[in-house]
Amino acid sequence: MAARAGRKLVVDVHSHLYPTAYIDLLKKRTDIPYVRPFPPTNQLCLCNRPPQNTSKTSADAATTSKVPPGRILHPHYYDVSEKLAFMDHHQIDISVLSLGNPWLDFLPAETAASIAVEINDATNDICLPHADRLFFFGALPLSGGESIILAEIARLSTLEQARGIVMGTGGLGDGLDDPQLIPIYRALADAHLPIFLHPNYGLPGPVWGSRGGDYGQILPLSLGFTMETTIALTRLFLSGAFDAVPELQIIVAHSGGCLPFLAGRVEACIEHDKTWEAQGKLTSDRTTLWHALRNNIYLDGVIFDKVGLRTAIEASGVDRVMFGTDHPFFAPLDGGKTFPAMTLNRDAVRDVFPEGEDATKDADGNSNDGYDLVMGENAVRVLKLR
């Protein structure tokens, strides 16, 4: 697809959409995740995580609260015309869609395979009429067992609009460092399907103290999600997964959480760890976290400020950071059409790369400044969007 008005392509790699089939699936459930009408307004509400500061996990919790127990499902969560209107309004040429958490992780093993096929096919069908604008990260039937997961990876690699898979930090349930994930990682690498890594539940409620609920969702969303990602990704690195599968590629949501800022501290702790020394892991040729950040890890640009974005670029390189909006989340509170998640993240790129500065050359010798790379060209190259 050619960019409009002579400008370079703008690609959003962090954009959520729920197919109708997924919403219908959640309507049938009584435990989290579920979709239910919220009684005061009768609007559909998606509850995909336990309510803060309570142990209730069933749909009954929705009837005891004066505020929605989750997200009200406005049309921009599931209506592709709303997605396209958002893209047009913000001059986004291409979006790579993904389900929001908890994806398909909650499915019983016996239905995981068939439902994964249904949901992934439904998403592919949503994208096909807009084949030059919409692509997607598929959802895996992680509860179905290795053979089921591998079969769906192979099938996803044949779908026209699939460009990778979305996965949470829990993996199969024990974290991304679970050795049982190595065959999954290897299959994804062989199929050239990157993982879009997205947090799920954040941190345990007690972390925020007795007054945590007084601050709305600010602490869980700003700190909980990012620290969940940081911990999971660090565990993955420490497990040696990138040595076992050197070709594994991961696009990490929210600019990698805190990892770009803390990578040096992680490395210092490794170099001074007696357990690693006793195990003979402190060799001069060991894979460092910096190497993983620059060879296995891509970072999205959903960071909302130039300071964080500059850190992400310093950590992974300008060729490994990709623009994102997190649409339809972070919607304007006034109900307007312009999403701060678009404008703040775009402006951060502009602040880091003022026009005409930091120019580089691509493999063909064409000029690309950092702004163009982050806003679209990196995603086009990595996800083969042309």
Beta carbons of 207 and 215 less than 8 angstroms apart:
no
Per-residue pLDDT band for 7 (boundaries 50, 70, 90) equals low
Residue-level length of the chain: 386
The single residue listed with the structure tokens 């929705």 is: 62
Strands (E), the chain: 11-16, 34-38, 43-47, 71-72, 94-98, 134-139, 162-168, 195-198, 250-252, 297-300, 321-322, 359-361, 367-369
Query: Taking the CB of residue 172, how many other CB atoms lie within 10 A of it?
Result: 18
Q: Give the per-residue pLDDT at 335.
A: 86
Per-residue pLDDT band for 79 (boundaries 50, 70, 90) equals very high
Please, which residues have CB within 8 angstroms of residue 228's CB and are 6 or more apart in sequence?
169, 199, 200, 201, 202, 203, 257
Per-residue pLDDT band for 357 (boundaries 50, 70, 90) equals low
Q: Give the per-residue pLDDT at 367.
A: 47
pLDDT over 90 for what percent of the chain?
A: 82
Dist CA 314 CA 293 (whole Å): 10
The single residue listed with the structure tokens 């050359």 is: 361
Long-range contacts of 211-214 (CB under 8 A, 24+ apart): 212/52, 212/53, 213/52, 213/53
Per-residue pLDDT band for 363 (boundaries 50, 70, 90) equals low
Domain 80-383 in CATH 1.10.10.60? no
Residue 46 Cα distances to 35, 50, 97, 104, 287, angstroms: 5, 11, 18, 14, 41
Per-residue pLDDT band for 2 (boundaries 50, 70, 90) equals very low
332-357 mean pLDDT: 89
pTM above 0.85, yes or no: yes
Q: Give the per-residue pLDDT at 386.
A: 81
Q: Is the dihedral of CA 141, 144, 149, 155 positive or negative?
A: negative
Tokens standing for 42?
Answer: 């009768």
Q: Is the pLDDT of residue 218 over 90?
A: yes
Q: Give the per-residue pLDDT at 5.
A: 46
Q: Is the pLDDT of residue 60 over 70?
A: no
The one-letter amino acid code at 324 reads G
Q: Is the pLDDT of residue 364 over 60?
A: no
Beta carbons of 287 and 243 less than 8 angstroms apart:
yes
Name the DSSP letter for residue 377: I
Q: Give the per-residue pLDDT at 66.
A: 59
156-181 mean pLDDT: 97
Task: Say how many CA atoms lie within 13 Å of 152 toward its Cβ.
Answer: 27
233-252 mean pLDDT: 98
Domain boundaries, given as residue ranges, for the chain: 17-73, 80-383
Angle at 110 between CA 32 and CA 184, to 5 degrees: 90
Q: Give the per-residue pLDDT at 63.
A: 47
Dist CA 373 CA 357 (whole Å): 13
Q: Give the per-residue pLDDT at 69.
A: 72
> What pLDDT, in 10s, does the model give residues 280-322?
999 999 999 999 999 999 999 999 999 999 999 999 999 999 9
Q: Is the pLDDT of residue 21 over 50?
A: yes
Q: Is the pLDDT of residue 58 over 90?
A: no
Per-residue pLDDT band for 49 (boundaries 50, 70, 90) equals confident
Dist CA 130 CA 136 (whole Å): 12
Q: Give the per-residue pLDDT at 50.
A: 67
355-380 mean pLDDT: 73
Q: Give the per-residue pLDDT at 103.
A: 96
